[in-house]
C-alpha cells in the first residue's frame, strides 16, 4: 500500500469481471454481502469472454455461416448472384451485441448492490489490496477476496505479437478487412473456429501445427472429420511443422516453415493468427504477500469449495486448473459467492461439456472413448448418423453423428459426443442424463419430437441397446 493511502473496507472483493467474476459478485450481492468488483479495463466489464472471445467470435461465426449459405445454396433452389460482405457493418453488428450484453451485466450488478472499481489490483496482504487506477490509487480491505483474473494468450517466440500482422485470438475478431491469406498457428478449438470463419469470409486459410493430427486430445474420428471438412472448404494443412521465423514486409509476412521430415519452405501470408493455448494471469497479483499457492504451471490451487490455502482468498475460472470454459467459470462463481456467506456449496458437477463452434459443430460431455480405452473402462456405445435423420437432410446438414457411451451392465450413461448442426444446443441433454444417473432406457423411453435434431440422441441410445429401428439390423 502507498504510504498515507486511505483504505476502504467491504465484505467481499472480486478481482476480474469476466464470467467467473461478475457472476460471483452478483450472487454475493444477492446474498446480502457488501461487494466490490475490481476490473482493470475501464470498458471491459464482462471480461475477455464478452469483449474479445466467446460472444464476438460467435457473432462473426454466425455471419460467416449466413454469408456462406447465401452463396452455396443452389441445390436448394436459392441463387444469390451479388452477395457481398461488408466487414465494417459486420463489426458494427458484433459491437451492438457486446454493448447490449455489457449494459445487461451492469444493470444486474447495480440491482445486486455491487460497487465497481476500475483499476489493477495487487495483494498487500491476505485481506488488503492496492488498486492502481488511471489517475489515482486506493486501498481496499475485505473479509473475503475472490480472484477471477482469467487467462492470456500464449506466444510463439519466433513470431511475437505485433497487433497488425501477427495477431492474438482477441485481435483477429476486430479486423475490418478480410485478409487475402491467413496462417493459423495451432490445432485447438480456437484455430478450428477461426479457420472455418475466415475461409468462409474469403481468406485463403492455412493451418500450421506441430502435431501429426488436429484436435489430438479427442476421438481420432473427430479430428479426421474436422480436417476433411476444412479441406472441403478450401483450408490447407501443414502438419508436423514448426514456424522457424517470420520476415515482415509490405505485403504481410513470410513464414519460414520446417517439417519434422526436414522439408523447408517459405510461404507468404497477409496475416498470422497465433492460437497455441492460454496461460493463467497470476504473475502481477502479488500472491507472494498471501498464503495462496500456485502449481508448476501458474494455476492457483483450490479445493472443491474454490478456497485457496489462504483462508481469506478464493479463486475461480481460468486461473484455476481445469477446462478454460466460460460456463465452468460461471458455475464456480456461484459456488465461491455462496461459500463466502457460509453456505455448504461445492463444485460437485460430474461433467463439464465442451463445444467447438465449427462447421459442423462438435460437442462432448463426460467420458469419451479414448479415455475409456486408456483407463481400461468397459463400455458399450451407440452411434446414429445425421445422414439418417430427416431433420438433418431437410436442412441440408447431413454431416455428423451422435455417439453415446454407457456402462455395459447398468446402462448408466457415461458420456456423449455430438458432431453436427446444433451440437452445442443438444449436448446439455446428455449432460443432464449423466448428472441425474440416467440409463440408456431412460433416454430412449423419452418421446422426442419428430423431426428434430435431438431425435439422434434417442436413436444413439437405442443403437447402444441394439434396438434402433432406423439403422439396418438395429445397430
- Residues annotated catalytic, as ranges: 450
Distance CA 68, CA 396 (A): 13
Any residues with CB less than 8 A from the CB of 145 and at least 6 apart, and which? 12, 13, 14, 15, 123, 126, 127, 129, 312, 313, 314
Distance CA 241, CA 149 (A): 33
Distance CA 221, CA 229 (A): 12
Grid cell digits, residue 447? 418421446
Grid coordinates 453436427 are at which residue?
A: 420
Distance CA 454, CA 145 (A): 42
Grid coordinates 513470410 are at which residue?
A: 254
Grid coordinates 517470420 are at which residue?
A: 246
Q: Is the dihedral of CA 427, 431, 434, 436 positive or negative?
A: negative
Question: Would you report the helix, strand and coil content of the chain in percent, each value rounded to 5?
Answer: 35, 25, 40
Among 336, 369, 388, 386, residue whose Cα is nearest residue 145? 336
Among 106, 130, 108, residue whose Cα is nearest residue 43? 106
Grid cell digits, residue 393? 437432410
* Bridge partners of residue 255, in order along the sequence: 246, 267
Among 439, 447, 436, residue whose Cα is nearest residue 382? 439
Distance CA 432, CA 467 (A): 23
How many other C-beta atoms are found inside a 10 Å radius of the C-beta of residue 233? 14
Any residues with CB less than 8 A from the CB of 405 and at least 6 apart, and which? 366, 367, 368, 369, 372, 379, 380, 381, 413, 414, 415, 416
Cα→Cα distances 437→166, 317, 324, 370, 415, Å: 47, 26, 26, 22, 11
Helix (H, G, I), strand (E, B) or coil at 421: coil
Cα→Cα distances 430→24, 93, 360, Å: 27, 33, 19
Residues 45, 352, 437, CA angle at the centre, nearest 5°?
140
Amino acid at each position: 500500500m502507498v504510504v498515507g493511502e486511505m483504505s476502504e473496507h467491504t465484505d467481499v472483493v472480486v478481482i476480474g469481471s469476466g464470467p467467473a467474476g461478475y457472476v460471483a459478485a452478483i450472487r454475493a450481492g444477492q446474498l446480502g454481502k457488501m461487494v466490490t468488483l475490481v476490473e482493470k479495463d475501464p470498458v471491459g466489464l464482462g471480461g475477455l469472454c464478452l469483449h474479445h472471445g466467446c460472444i464476438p467470435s460467435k457473432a462473426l461465426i454466425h455471419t460467416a455461416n449466413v454469408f456462406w449459405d447465401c452463396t452455396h445454396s443452389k441445390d436448394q433452389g436459392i441463387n444469390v448472384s451479388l452477395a457481398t460482405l461488408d466487414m465494417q457493418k459486420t463489426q458494427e453488428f458484433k459491437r451492438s451485441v457486446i454493448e447490449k450484453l455489457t449494459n445487461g451485466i451492469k444493470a444486474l450488478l447495480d440491482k445486486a448492490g455491487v460497487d465497481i472499481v476500475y483499476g489493477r489490483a495487487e495483494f498487500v496482504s491476505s485481506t488488503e489490496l492496492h488498486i492502481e487506477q488511471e489517475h489515482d490509487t486506493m486501498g481496499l480491505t475485505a473479509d473475503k477476496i475472490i480472484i477471477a483474473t482469467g487467462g492470456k494468450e500464449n506466444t510463439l517466440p519466433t513470431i511475437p505479437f505485433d497487433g497488425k500482422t501477427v495477431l492474438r485470438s482477441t485481435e483477429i475478431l476486430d479486423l475490418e478487412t478480410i485478409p487475402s491469406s491467413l496462417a493459423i498457428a495451432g490445432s485447438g478449438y480456437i484455430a478450428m473456429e477461426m479457420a472455418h470463419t475466415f475461409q468462409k469470409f474469403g481468406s485463403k486459410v492455412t493451418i500450421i501445427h506441430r502435431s501429426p493430427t488436429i484436435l489430438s486430445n479427442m476421438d481420432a474420428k473427430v479430428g479426421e472429420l474436422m480436417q476433411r471438412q476444412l479441406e472441403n472448404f478450401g483450408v490447407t494443412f501443414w502438419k508436423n511443422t514448426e514456424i522457424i521465423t517470420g520476415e515482415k514486409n509490405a505485403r504481410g509476412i513470410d513464414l519460414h516453415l520446417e517439417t519434422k521430415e526436414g522439408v523447408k519452405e517459405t510461404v507468404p501470408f497477409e496475416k498470422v493468427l497465433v492460437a497455441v493455448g492460454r496461460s493463467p494471469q497470476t504473475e502481477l497479483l502479488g500472491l507472494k504477500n498471501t498464503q495462496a499457492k500456485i502449481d508448476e504451471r501458474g494455476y492457483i490451487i483450490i479445493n472443491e469449495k474454490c478456497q485457496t490455502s489462504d483462508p481469506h482468498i478464493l479463486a475461480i475460472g481460468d486461473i484455476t486448473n481445469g477446462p478454460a470454459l466460460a460456463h465452468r467459470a460461471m458455475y464456480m462463481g456461484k459456488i465461491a459467492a455462496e461459500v463466502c456467506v457460509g453456505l455448504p456449496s461445492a463444485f460437485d458437477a460430474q461433467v463439464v461439456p465442451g463445444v467447438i463452434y465449427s462447421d459442423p459443430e462438435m460437442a462432448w460431455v463426460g467420458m469419451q472413448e479414448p479415455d475409456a480405452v486408456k483407463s481400461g473402462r468397459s463400455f458399450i456405445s451407440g452411434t446414429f448418423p445425421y445422414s439418417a435423420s430427416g431433420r438433418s437432410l431437410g436442412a441440408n446438414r447431413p454431416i455428423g453423428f451422435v455417439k453415446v457411451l454407457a456402462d455395459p451392465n447398468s446402462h448408466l450413461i457415461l458420456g456423449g459426443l455430438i458432431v453436427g448442426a446444433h451440437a452445442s444446443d443438444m449436448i446439455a441433454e446428455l449432460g443432464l442424463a449423466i448428472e441425474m444417473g440416467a440409463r440408456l432406457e431412460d433416454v430412449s423411453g423419452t418421446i422426442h419430437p419428430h423431426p428434430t435434431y435431438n431425435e439422434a440422441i434417442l436413436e444413439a441410445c437405442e443403437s447402444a441397446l441394439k434396438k434402433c429401428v432406423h439403422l439396418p439390423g438395429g445397430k
